[in-house]
Amino acid sequence: MPIIRHDRDLALTAAAVARRIEQRVGLGACGHVVQRRDLLLARLVIDHGVLILVRRGEKVLRQGDSETVLGSGDAVAITGGTVYDVINRPGMSGTYEASWLMVAPALIDRFAATSMTPAIAGHLALRGMPAEFHQSFDRGTASITARDLPDGIAAQRLLEMLAWVEHKGFHLATRRVPTVTHRLRALLSAAPARDWAATDIAGALGMSEATLRRRLAAEDTSLTAQLTDLRMSLALTLLQVTDKSVGEIAHDVGYESASRFATRFRARFGVSPTSIRTAD
C-alpha cells in the first residue's frame, strides 16, 4: 500500500530547496516553484522532458478537451516539445508549490535505448507513488545541487527517476525529429537576453533567412513570436523559482526597460509579473 504524504510533510521536504534554478551540465536542472494565486497560464511550451512533483496545492494540465488534475503528492512526467494550458492552484496554506527535475536529453536517450516500454505521448500522471519515489526524487534534485557528488553517481540517481516512470509502464523520450521551431527555441534559450539578428539565427541553424522564415511560417509561427514567447516563459519560471527582482528578471530576458517587459508579460499571460508572487 502506498504511503500517503500530507501537504505539510511535502512542504517540509521542499523547504530546503534553494530559490534559484540549479543546473549541472550533461545531467540536468531543477527548481522549486512557489505561486500564491490561482492563475491560468495559457499555451505553455514544455521545451524539455521534465518530472514535476506537486508539494502543495493542485496542478491542472489541459490539452484540447483533455484535462489532468494533480494533487499534493502527485507527480507527472512530461515529454519535451509539448504545449499545455496550465493552472496552478494554491492549497489550504494559500500557496502552490512544486519541484521540477529536468533530466538531460542524453540521459533520457540512454535510458530509452534499453527500455521495453512505449514512449510517453505527451504526459504521464504518477499518482499514489510510495515514499521511496519521493525519496528518489529528492535524491535526484540533490544530484544536481551537490557539486561534490561524482558525475557517475549523479547520473545514476537521475536514471533512477526514469526507472520510476518506466515502472508505471512507459518511458520518457526525447523528440526524435525536432521541428524548426524546436531547434530555434533550443538555440535562443542558450542566450535569451542576446540582441538576436535574423541572419545570425538562420546561419546557426544552417539555412538562409528566407528559408528559416518560410519554414517557421509553415509551422504557423515566426522568429519574433518564438523569441518573445521563450523570453516570457523564462521570465515566468524566474518569477516562480527565484527571488530576483522584476527588474533583474527583465534584464535576464533581454529587456532594459522593466515597464516594457511588464507590458509584454501581461500581453502574454494576462497578469503583471508581480501578480505571480502575490496573493489574490
**30 within some domain:** yes
Quick one: 123 and 12 in the same domain?
A: yes
pLDDT exceeds 50 at position 1:
no
Output the domain CATH number for residue 103: 2.60.120.810
Give the three cell numbers for residue 147. Answer: 557539486
Quick one: 35 and 82 in the same domain?
A: yes
- DSSP-assigned states of every residue in 145-163: H-TTS-HHHHHHHHHHHHH
Give the three cell numbers for residue 15. Answer: 523547504
pLDDT in tens, 32-85: 998 888 888 999 999 899 999 999 999 999 998 999 999 999 999 999 989 999
- Give the residue from 167, 190, 220 where a domain finishes: 167
Quick one: 20 and 148 in the same domain?
A: yes
Give the three cell numbers for residue 212. Answer: 528559416
pLDDT exceeds 80 at position 14:
no
| DSSP 8-state assignment for residue 144 | H
Q: Domain of residue 156: give its range.
A: 7-167
Quick one: 159 and 197 in the same domain?
A: no
The number of folded domains in the chain is 2
Give the three cell numbers for residue 139. Answer: 535524491
**2 within some domain:** no
- Please report the pLDDT score of residue 16 as a whole number: 44
Quick one: 156 and 196 in the same domain?
A: no
- Please report the pLDDT score of residue 253 as a whole number: 95
- Give the residue from 134, 167, 200 where a domain finishes: 167
Quick one: 141 and 196 in the same domain?
A: no
- Give the residue from 135, 167, 199 where a domain finishes: 167
Q: Please give the Cα distance from 191 to 206 (Å, whole number).
A: 18
Quick one: 17 and 141 in the same domain?
A: yes
pLDDT in tens, 175-218: 766 789 999 999 999 899 999 999 999 999 999 999 999 999 99
pLDDT in tens, 134-179: 999 999 999 999 989 999 999 999 999 999 999 999 999 987 667 8
Q: Please give the Cα distance from 261 to 269 (Å, whole number).
A: 12
Q: How confident is the model at residue 18 (pLDDT cuts 50, 70, 90)?
A: low
**1 within some domain:** no
Quick one: 148 and 53 in the same domain?
A: yes
**174 within some domain:** no
Quick one: 196 and 134 in the same domain?
A: no
Give the three cell numbers for residue 8. Answer: 505539510
Q: Please give the Cα distance from 196 to 190 (Å, whole number).
A: 12
**86 within some domain:** yes
Quick one: 43 and 163 in the same domain?
A: yes
Among 17, 140, 35, 25, which Cα is nearest to 77's? 140
**175 within some domain:** no
Q: Please give the Cα distance from 192 to 238 (Å, whole number).
A: 13
Q: Please give the Cα distance from 236 to 49 (Å, whole number).
A: 18
pLDDT exceeds 70 at position 9:
no
